[in-house]
Amino acid sequence: MRFNRALLSALAATTMFVATPTLAEAKSIEQKYTDLRVEVVKKFGADTAGRNIRKQGLRTPKGRVVEAQDRHYARSIRTFRRWLAPPAPTARPGDRISTAPAYAGGQFAIPRYIVMCESGGDYRKYNNAGSGASGAYQIMPGTWKAYGGSTANAADASPAEQDRVAAKIYAAEGSSPWSCR
């Protein structure tokens, strides 16, 4: 078989070659992993970051310990970056959007720390202790009705209605109706 030299040189010029990482580049990914792991440990504690795959290797599903490869470091780096800079929350239909600082309520009608302590921000949450409190603000059924709730309990109402009723309660009584204050 005869090859056309012009065709071969044109093909060689347009073909992209994938180079394997050099030893220096491999060291840099390990160093990025170590640096990010240190940041995660400082921010969240040693248990959060899990096993240090650079020092202790990687445990396989069968229980063996193997040396971590670049793809393992890359996956851990992506995870650590996500933990250190989480994406902004996305708004859902009916959510109240606010530019107020988090301590002043953020996306909620009352201070955010109360909502996170009471329900974790879940508008459909029911109290497991049997008190009857429900919704993101864990409002008792009697209080819910007294301040204008249109449903039997807060969890059955829209997030906007829950925000409105919680704002009325907070304006009238402050944080005293909530156990997390």
- pLDDT (tens digit per residue) in 124-143: 888 877 788 999 999 999 99
Q: Distance of alpha carbon 134 from its chain centroid, rounded?
A: 24
Instruction: Examine the domain organization and report whether 109 and 79 are in the same domain.
Output: no
For residue 18, the model assigns a pLDDT of 47
Whichever domain contains 165, its CATH number is 1.10.530.10
The letter for the amino acid at 150 is S
Predicted TM-score of the model (pTM): 0.43
Number of domains, the chain: 2
**What is the full DSSP assignment across 109-173?**
SS-HHHHHHHTTT-TT-B-TTSS--BTTTTB-HHHHHHTT--SSSGGGS-HHHHHHHHHHHHHHH
For residue 25, the model assigns a pLDDT of 58
Instruction: Examine the domain organization and report whether 67 and 120 are in the same domain.
Output: no
Phi-psi domain of 180 (left: phi exceeds 0; alpha: psi -120 through 50; beta: other): beta
pLDDT, one tens digit per residue, over 32-82 is 888 888 988 888 787 777 788 888 888 888 889 999 888 888 888 888 888
Binned at pLDDT 50, 70 and 90, residue 122 comes out as confident
- From 58, 84, 110, the end of a domain falls on 84
Instruction: Examine the domain organization and report whether 72 and 124 are in the same domain.
Output: no
Q: Map tokens 């449903």 to a residue.
A: 151
For residue 1, the model assigns a pLDDT of 44
- The closest of 139, 168, 167, 170 to 155, measured between CA atoms, is 139
Give the span between the Cα atoms of 98 and 108, in whole angstroms. Answer: 8
Instruction: Examine the domain organization and report whether 53 and 116 are in the same domain.
Output: no
The domain of 133 spans 102-173
For residue 104, the model assigns a pLDDT of 43
Give the span between the Cα atoms of 128 and 135, in whole angstroms. Answer: 12
Res. 115: pLDDT tops 60: yes
Give the span between the Cα atoms of 4 and 23, in whole angstroms. Answer: 38
Mean pLDDT computed over every residue of the chain: 78
